[in-house]
Chains A and B, each alone.
Chain A
Amino acid sequence: MSYPGATVAVVAPRPLISRRARQILTGYAYLIPAALCLGGTILFPILKAIHMSLYNHVLIRPQEYAFIGLGNYARVLHDEVFWLSLKNSAVWVFGSVSLQFVGGFAAALLLHQGFRGRAAVRTVTLIPWIIPGVVVALVWEWLYQPNYGVLNDLLLKAGLLRERVAWLSDPALAMPAVVAANVWRGVPFFAIMLLAGLQAIPDELYEAARVDGASVVGRFRHITLPLLRPIIVVATATRIIWTFNYADLIFVMTSGGPANATQITSTYTLLQAYSNLDFGYAATLSVVLLLIMLAFTIVYLRVTRGIESVS
């Protein structure tokens, strides 16, 4: 006997994979595009650089292309200019970042105060950070120009100099000069980061401290500084890594000269890659720099462990 229009229940076949497994797989499937992007843009270049570093790969001598194992790494150990550039990098990074931090902190404290035209001043403060690095380098190169630059002109007119100084051509002055340009560029980064942190500190804490008779210095030491520490740790670590890899400014202003006085590891790597076209050695330098920065990051995070969770 049949019932027209009636629905017949059919037993569904058992699925190949369970509902739980399907859910998990779906989750991973969503990650695939991001994983592919990261793998293609970060992991693959790193692996490729490691691979290249094991070969004698000079673009102008294709016939000499060969696997040389750790030959390039042995060359690094005996490369005087590399060690000099590493030393210069330390001066460049710590000189730049420490002064940027001090300047940025001072600017953030100032911008945190209420005064007329604060919004305009905050915008102006950002300008050095907005300008592209190459433009900053060209502007500062002109300022430092010994023969017709404004810096010498002003100092001579003020009677602070007796003769023109070649800021970028004197090995003793070239590094401080490029660091000063980099400090000018980096101060806004710290100013904005720290200002955001300052604005997140509740006013009640300062009021309570004031009621308890805490001085300005006391309030800064016991409230501002501890609560800003997480931002300070993250901002300085990021900035150190950026500055270590940042070549534009020096490349345009001095090309690493005079006499390698401003040669840092990133400009030296560029020189090997694009002047000598020695891709194997340039890749080796990149891998060594990656390891140095990795070691630095691990040590830095260990030293500052716990600080970022103070708040």
Chain B
Amino acid sequence: MDHGHRLSRRRLLQTLAASGVIAAADLAWWEEPFLAPRRAWGATPVRFQFSVPEPKRTALVESLAERFNKSQTEHEVKVEFVPQAQARQKLISSIAAGTPPDCCQVWDNWVGEFDGMGALEDLTGKVKDWKHYKDVLPLAWQTVTMKDRILSYPWVVTNDGLYWRTDRAKEYGVKPPRDDWNWDDFLAFTKAMTRPDKNQYGFGMRGQGTWAVLYATEFMYGNGAQVLKDGKVVINSKEAAEGLDWYLDLMRKHKVTPPSVPTDGWRQIVEGFGRGITNTYLHNSGSAEEQKGFVGADHFSTVPLPVGPAKKRASFYFSETLTMFKGGKNRDGAWKFCTWLMDDEPNAMYCKTLGLLPARKTLADRPEFAKDPALAGFVKSFPFSIVSPYLAYAGWGGKLDSEGVPLFQQAMVGKLSAKECLDRFAEVLTKNMK
């Protein structure tokens, strides 16, 4: 028997001690890993988190980052792609853990939450000195302003409008909607576009996710309702309840919506229209490019929301922001990258590829945006667009989804009346005015 290779106890202890010393020595490298990627020309890395709703965006953002990296030698952007559904919780967790990325792309309704955590710096002074400051739409600045402080860049803006099938309207001999149509016109249009025998419905209503509450609120605004008045929550007013009732009756009474409404989220309403199940749906300009691929650019158009009985209408304004964090390790690099993304060509390229509207006036006026029929409904909605009233308090962010949506679903399926739903919703909002 060969004992030559047997590990003696002494050797084992020596080996363990040696590996302990090596491990302890290596601790110093944790902050900056020993096997760190080689930095080209000494460029400092910029961590940019991007939430990915579709593969097209991934390729586009990679290409933008590459262009930025080639345009200068000081900073190197590394894009961290995160699924959209997890982006908010990942960002908040990383802020809480003290390791946020240097900058990120997020919807403006999260900015308030980040600010509530003390994670954002006041950019007002810096932004006002920025060369394109005055070129950005004032409403777009409003979406990223909290307590008179500008906290992010509005990269692109979006408001809501109605997508409708031009080819189907022609086929069924239905008069196309006018830009100043009203609720009665809308109801008549959706009824005429509902063909149960063909498994087609006039309106793709959303019942799942935060925007299910927002779309319903836009209709309530059409009836003269408001979310906040003199600092108080008034979303349970008579006007709001009547507006909600009318909106929900599209599903409950008139049956111009598919039966799946209570569980239809963003993906379902976009695909429902794309597959030819619905002939109209309410959404922002973000799905225009997708619909060009689904139903063809010549087969649909967009139109502003109808005017309500109070002779009012509202389209809620949102922005996709570029947000930088106080806790970021390369704030200078983040600032340079974000301002570069707001420059003419990168900004126009991002918006054009994805069918979004730039926040900068000179870009939005370009024919590829201003004259695109798929975006016409949104451009025409600018005069009555307002910043979403639900951006008023950071505490409302998650509650719309976790408590608001189930209440609206209960009203949809007849478990609560519109008034009961709004009374309870108003309680939730009042409790979370923080």
Contact = CB atoms under 8 A, between A and B. Distances in A.
Given A60-B113, A62-B96, A169 B415 contact: no
A171 B415 contact: yes
Nearest to A61: B116
Given A60-B117, A145-B260, A257-B262, A164 B199 contact: yes
A169 B259 CA distance: 7
B392 to A, nearest CB: 15
Contacts of A297: none
Interface in B276-291: 277
Contact of B196 (A59, A163, A254): A163
A309 to B, nearest CB: 45
A222 to B, nearest CB: 49
Given A147-B258, A276-B398, A168 B263 contact: yes
Interface residues of B, number: 37
A269 B218 CA distance: 31
B259 A166 contact: yes
Interface size bracket, A side: 20 to 34
Contacts of B199: 147-148, 164
Contacts of A275: 398, 401-402
A169 B262 contact: yes
A257 B407 CA distance: 10
A146 B272 CA distance: 11
B412 A258 contact: yes
A259 interface: yes
B402 A146 contact: no
A165 interface: yes
A228 to B, nearest CB: 40
A263 B403 CA distance: 12
B92 interface: yes
A245 interface: no
Contacts of A59: 92-93, 96, 117
Nearest to B263: A169
Interface in A134-191: 145-148, 163-166, 168-171, 174
B394 A169 contact: no
A81 B428 CA distance: 14
A166 B260 contact: yes
Interface in B364-412: 394-395, 397-399, 401-402, 405-406, 409-410, 412
Given A257-B263, A258-B263, A276 B399 contact: yes
A272 to B, nearest CB: 8
Given A147-B272, A271-B402, A255 B208 contact: yes
A259 B406 contact: yes
A31 to B, nearest CB: 20
A146 B92 CA distance: 36
Interface of B: 89, 92-93, 96, 113, 116-118, 196, 199, 207-208, 258-264, 272, 275, 277, 394-395, 397-399, 401-402, 405-406, 409-410, 412-413, 415, 434
22 contacts: A59-B93, A60-B113, A60-B398, A61-B117, A61-B434, A81-B406, A146-B258, A146-B259, A148-B199, A163-B196, A164-B199, A169-B207, A170-B259, A170-B262, A170-B413, A257-B406, A259-B409, A259-B412, A259-B415, A260-B409, A271-B402, A276-B402
Interface of A: 59-63, 81, 145-148, 163-166, 168-171, 174, 254-260, 263, 271-272, 274-277
